[in-house]
Copies of this chain bind each other. A is one copy, B any other.
């Protein structure tokens, strides 16, 4: 560190979160309507200023709780944006995170109704405030990469799930159909999930086996060169 302390006036710091879920076989992002200027009324990522002494990670969890009412989910830092002009109010540095949530776990808080939080399909996003469009795009790229070499999918599913649901998660994230047999074979060989022995009955079809992730903590698969 140099002697720049004198002329150091730190930028404002905010945290924005890209909250993903799968709904109706589509990858969706949580957006709110901005209650205040700038960009009042436009769609934006949930976020907020850092509270005094708060870490960005804590702020991300707080916002997640406030806007979506969820706790124990996959959260990961994405990137830090501070291009000049990204916020008309001046220099703002935003640390972005992304989170993965199973749709049925989300309960919007009453207090947030005014901002009408809503999940938008990534295939038809509205115009977003600030540079949030770029942020979402970046997040999608990261998610696509992550889901191929981690167990992150657990965070988009409920604890017990059926193989078809798992495949739908991958298809929604990657944006294309996958072959049922190849997908099952490959995924099984990764050793990330185990059968519960239970079956899902009640549909008018052959009952499907229920699986669960062996670990619901982030795991990276080893890669070889």
Contact = CB atoms under 8 A, between A and B. Distances in A.
B8 A50 contact: yes
Query: What band does the interface of chain A fall in when counting residues whose beta carbon is under 8 Å from B?
Result: 35 or more
A82 to B, nearest CB: 5
B53 A82 contact: no
- How many copies of this chain? 2
Nearest to A83: B55
A49 B13 contact: no
A221 B178 CA distance: 22
A153 interface: no
Interface in A140-156: 148
A48 interface: yes
Interface of A: 1-2, 4-5, 7-14, 34, 36, 47-53, 55-57, 66, 77, 79-80, 82-84, 91, 93, 95, 148, 174, 178, 225
In this complex, which of A13, A57, A174 has the most chain B Cβ atoms within 10 angstroms of its Cβ?
A: A13
A44 to B, nearest CB: 8
Given A36-B1, A47-B1, A55-B84, A10 B7 contact: no
Given A2-B49, A77-B79, A178-B225, 9 more contacts: A1-B34, A2-B48, A2-B66, A4-B48, A7-B52, A10-B11, A53-B84, A55-B82, A56-B93
A147 to B, nearest CB: 10
Contacts of A225: 148, 174, 178
Contacts of A93: 13, 56, 95
